[in-house]
Amino acid sequence: MRIDILTIFPKMFDPVLNESIIKRAQAKGKVKIYVHDSRDYTLDKHRKVDDRPFGGGSGMVMRPEPIFNCVEAIRRKAKKAKIILLTPQGKTLNQNTAKKLSRLSHLILICGHYEGIDERVRIKLADKEISIGDYVLTGGELPAMVLIDAIVRLIPGVLGDKNSLNFESFEGNLLEYPHYTRPANFRKMDVPEILLSGDHNKIEAWRRMQALKRTKARRPDLLKQ
Ligand code: ADE
């Protein structure tokens, strides 16, 4: 998979892309990630990425020109990209969407900013608009990182243990069962005995029951789906 990111804050991505599983996925050749500074695609001498809104009002609007220029430059080399705009107005991200996107070969992520982005970017370029939740952040950079993390870990071969994907939260619309590790007794708190029994059928049944109970208590909406 290839991911291109358009942003006015490219440095924000360094720590996230150069650590942990996302770093390893790139080293293994599972994903190639390119960060583009929108300012490099401006044509004026002040390298302006925003301007005042037509019709007046407070705040600034991101100019369409650098975004169109950058997308066109990427598309000249790679034609099949799906373009995603990160915006609080988009469809809320969930595991199902992450899974679908993880099967695509090329994504271009556009990070919005300021009061908004020129509507022509949305109309003409965006194939999909994604929000990471019903709250407003200062820009689309953190949402883009969240989306990349959610997608990259689903690319086959990125996570070592295939089973860890099968039993995690939201798989089959259930939250995850509780986990324990050594020691079996910690500050007078015991690990549930069944987990020490070695009976794998019973353990699996216990875990499924715990996952169901937890989902019913915390996220009954998931069970209805
Ligand atoms: N930009 C600002 N807030 C956002 C959100 N919640 N999701 C996606 N992009 C955003």
Q: For residues 143 and 40, give the distance between their C-alpha atoms in angstroms, rounded to a whole number.
A: 22
The CATH number for 169-224, chosen from 3.40.50.720, 1.10.1270.20, 1.10.10.2840, 3.10.129.10, is 1.10.1270.20
Asked whether 143 lines ligand 1 (CB < 6 A), one says yes
41-55 burial, b at 16+ Cβ within 10 Å, e below that, comes to bbeeeeeebbeeeee
Q: How far is the CA of 148 from the centre of ligand 1 (A)?
A: 14
Q: What pTM did the predictor assign? A: 0.94
Low-confidence ranges of the chain (pLDDT < 70): 161-164, 167
**Looking at residue 163, what is its pLDDT?**
61
**Looking at residue 79, what is its pLDDT?**
86
Dihedral sign for Cα 174, 168, 171, 107, please: positive
**Looking at residue 162, what is its pLDDT?**
66
Predicted confidence (pLDDT) per residue in 6-36, tens digit: 999 999 999 999 999 999 999 999 999 999 9
Atom of ligand 1 nearest to the CA of 112: 1
**Looking at residue 113, what is its pLDDT?**
86
Asked whether 7 lines ligand 1 (CB < 6 A), one says no
Q: Where are the domains of the chain?
A: 2-152, 169-224
Superfamily of domain 2-152: SPOUT methyltransferase, trefoil knot domain (3.40.1280.10)
